[in-house]
Amino acid sequence: MPLLIVVAALVLLLILTIVFKLNAFVSLIVVAVVLGLAEGMAAKAVLVSVQNGLGSILGSVVMIIGFGAMLGALLIESGALQRITYQLIKTFGIKHIQWAVLLTGFVVGLPMYYMAGFVLLLPLVFSIAASTRLPLLYVGLPLVAALSVTHGYLPPHPGPTAIAALFKADFSLTLLYGLAIAVPAVIIAGPIFSRTLKRYNPAPPTTIAMPKHFTEEEMPGFEVSLFTVLTPIMLMTLGAVATLTLPADSKVRQAIEFISDPNLALLISVLVAMVLLGLNRGKSMKEVMDLFSGSIAGIATILLIVGGGGALKQVLVDSGVSVYITNLFSDMHLSPLFMAWAIAAILRICLGSSTVASLTAGGMMLPVLATTSVKPELMVLAVGAGSLTCSHVNDSGFWIFKEYFNLTIPQTLATWTVMETLVSLIGLAGVLLMNAFL
């Protein structure tokens, strides 16, 4: 009976978001309340559970997501991302243009939200395709694959960050393991897969607005731009290396782990960017602060959705449903990693939103994690990979890709949907392989 109530609650979530087009945050809170009452919780206990869940998850991730938004805004407005993109293309040349675009997407995607990176870089893809007379998908798919993988697998993106906090995973190790899996995923789903799509050769739409174009003098140097982009990644990777190689009581390790904590790493990165890309480039402190304020306003909806997912998770735990699910899946003798991937994949297919799918799956898998010896970092990646599966017509990313690449719905299913599924399956294979050796 408890599992049937959970299934009914997920169906209600589908109806609210798909049929009634209700905001995801409102839908998650409504479903959390209904689920708690249906499972026999007292009305006041349900409200306390919702508040605790929302507060605990936001307390863990709000700094990371907020600082990430500030860093991304400054990278765009300073011209640093344009500098990195142009330099990589110049270095790789036309013959290896796919690898230049892929690396651009990966570097840009590390600190920046998927949609912002997509809109920023797609006009550049159009320009490259037009000047080289290469097929648009041949040039563009490696970029999109890289942006998608960083969005689904890696902190500081909202989904992986929230799940890492939920599972109490080490952020630095999650990033390190995620990078190891992300590299083959983007290569196979990007350059290799795109070479099988020669039958599709769409023309760029004529209605797409171009982002601001910076002159050579307006852009910062390549070294400064790249250093600023990679600062949080370098700090968190340094923390992962210290955790793996130094004894726990080492003062050096403790110092490195302090500055590599994702909250502090991103704060340091924002301060570095503020100086190198803002104040040193002639911007006033007020201009930089106004830019930061605008970036925070843009992530309000994301933070609310993350909070709603945390509320639903807490109700699953406090109502006792999570223990029931744990016992049920334990009897099936399935790999917890495969289970996490499958639940996230099913929710992604049904709900469309990868962030909502990963947060809901995380709440269901939390008690399962406590009963296994699986590393929580790998569980984060399994959920993240599952949340990218089989994007189709109920996902806004599907329609944006379709319109920007000027494709029909069947063509979008054959390109975007297959690419997302490849990324997801490679992620699953990667975590299962890692689990066998770690």
pTM: 0.78
pLDDT grade, residue 169 (50/70/90)? very high
pLDDT of residue 143: 92
pLDDT grade, residue 297 (50/70/90)? confident
DSSP symbol at 199: T
Residue 27 near residue 287 (C-beta atoms within 8 A):
no
Using CA atoms, how far apart are residues 136 and 419, in angstroms rounded to an integer?
Answer: 15
Show contacts of 240-243: CB within 8 Å, 24+ apart.
Answer: 240/170, 240/172, 240/173, 240/175, 240/176, 241/176, 243/170, 243/172, 243/173
Cα distances (angstroms) measured from residue 206 to each of 209, 233, 238: 9, 37, 45
The residue ranking higher by pLDDT, 100 or 208, is: 100
Q: Is residue 208's pLDDT more than 60? A: no
Cα distances (angstroms) measured from residue 66 to each of 72, 137, 263, 285: 10, 33, 10, 18
Helix (H, G, I), strand (E, B) or coil at 135: coil
pLDDT grade, residue 260 (50/70/90)? confident
Using CA atoms, how far apart are residues 157 and 209, in angstroms rounded to an integer?
Answer: 26
pLDDT grade, residue 416 (50/70/90)? very high
Residue 145 near residue 423 (C-beta atoms within 8 A):
yes
pLDDT of residue 137: 92
pLDDT grade, residue 196 (50/70/90)? very high
pLDDT grade, residue 340 (50/70/90)? very high
Question: Which is nearest to 257 in space by CA: 271, 242, 270?
Answer: 242
pLDDT of residue 37: 95
Phi, psi of 151 (to 5 degrees): -65, -40
Q: Is residue 353's pLDDT more than 90? A: no
Q: What is the mean pLDDT of residues 238-246?
A: 86
